[in-house]
Amino acid sequence: MKHPNQLSVRKQIQRFKHAFFQVGDTPFSKVLPLSLLEEIRRSGSDRDTVFTPLVTLKAFLWQVLSPTGSCKSAVAHVFTDRISLNHPANSMNTGPYCKARLRLSSEHLKTAVCCSGKALHQQASPSWLWHGFRVMMVDGTTMLMPDTTDNQTHYPQQSVQKKGLGFPIMRMVGLLSLATGSCVDYATGKYQGKGSGETSLFAQLIGQLDKKDLLIADRYYTTFAIMALMIKQGTPLVFRQRANVKSDFRRGKKLSSKDHLISYNKPKRKPVWMDQDTYNELPSQITIREFSVKGIVYVSTLLDAKTYHKNELAKLYRQRWHIELDFRSIKTQMGMDMLRCQSAEMVDKEVAVHLLAYNFIRSNMANAASMNNVKPRQISFMAAVNLMRNMAGIAATLTTKALVKWLKPLLKAIASTKTGGRKRRNQPRVVKRRPKAYPLMSKPRVEYA
Q: What's the mean pLDDT in 219-241?
A: 95
DSSP annotation string for 378-413: GB-HHHHHHHHHHHHHHHTTS-HHHHHHHHHHHHHH
CA distances from 352 to 173, 185, 234, 331, 366 (A): 13, 10, 29, 13, 21
Residue 137 is assigned to a structural domain of this protein: yes
Residue 350 is assigned to a structural domain of this protein: no
196 and 277 both lie in a single domain:
yes
- pLDDT bucket at 399, cuts 50 / 70 / 90: confident
100 and 112 both lie in a single domain:
no
Residue 433 is assigned to a structural domain of this protein: no
pLDDT at residue 444 greater than cutoff 90? no
Residue 283 is assigned to a structural domain of this protein: yes
Cα–Cα dist 289/297, whole Å: 11
Q: pLDDT tens for residues 168-179?
A: 999 999 999 999
383 and 273 both lie in a single domain:
no
The residue from 326, 354, 370 where one domain ends is 326
C-alpha dihedral (26, 31, 37, 40), degrees to nearest 10: -150
143 and 73 both lie in a single domain:
no
167 and 63 both lie in a single domain:
no
- Provide the pLDDT for residue 46: 63
Question: How many other CB atoms are there within 10 angstroms of residue 125's CB atom?
Answer: 16
Residue 336 is assigned to a structural domain of this protein: no
pLDDT at residue 5 greater than cutoff 60? no
Q: pLDDT tens for residues 108-147?
A: 999 999 999 999 999 999 999 999 999 999 999 999 999 9
The amino acid that residue 219 corresponds to is: R
- Provide the pLDDT for residue 136: 97
**Residue from 179, 189, 182 nearest 140 by CA:** 189
pLDDT at residue 77 greater than cutoff 50? yes
Q: What integer best gives the mean pLDDT of the chain?
A: 90
CA distances from 383 to 64, 96, 174 (A): 16, 32, 23
pLDDT at residue 412 greater than cutoff 60? yes
The residue from 326, 341, 356 where one domain ends is 326
Please, are residues 252 and 263 in contact by the beta-carbon 8 Å criterion? yes
153 and 23 both lie in a single domain:
no
Cα–Cα dist 248/243, whole Å: 13
The residue from 306, 326, 346 where one domain ends is 326
Burial grade of 78 (CB within 10 A; 0-12, 13-18, 19 or more): buried
189 and 312 both lie in a single domain:
yes
Q: Which residue has the higher pLDDT, 182 or 159?
A: 182
3 state SS of 162? coil
Please, are residues 291 and 310 in contact by the beta-carbon 8 Å criterion? yes
Residue 370 is assigned to a structural domain of this protein: no
Alpha-carbon Rg for the chain in angstroms: 24
Q: pLDDT tens for residues 190-225?
A: 998 877 889 999 999 999 999 999 999 999 999 999
143 and 208 both lie in a single domain:
yes
- Provide the pLDDT for residue 3: 47
Q: What's the mean pLDDT in 248-259?
A: 94
Residue 441 backbone phi and psi in degrees, to 5: -70, 125
Q: Which residue has the higher pLDDT, 4 or 121?
A: 121
Domain extent for 183: 108-326
- Provide the pLDDT for residue 424: 66
- pLDDT bucket at 160, cuts 50 / 70 / 90: confident
98 and 119 both lie in a single domain:
no
- Provide the pLDDT for residue 192: 86
Find the CATH number of the domain harbouring 297: 3.90.350.10
Residue 133 is assigned to a structural domain of this protein: yes
142 and 259 both lie in a single domain:
yes
Q: pLDDT tens for residues 34-53?
A: 889 889 988 877 667 789 99
Residue 442 is assigned to a structural domain of this protein: no
Q: What's the mean pLDDT in 297-306?
A: 96
86 and 119 both lie in a single domain:
no
Please, are residues 190 and 386 in contact by the beta-carbon 8 Å criterion? no
Number of domains in the chain: 2
193 and 250 both lie in a single domain:
yes
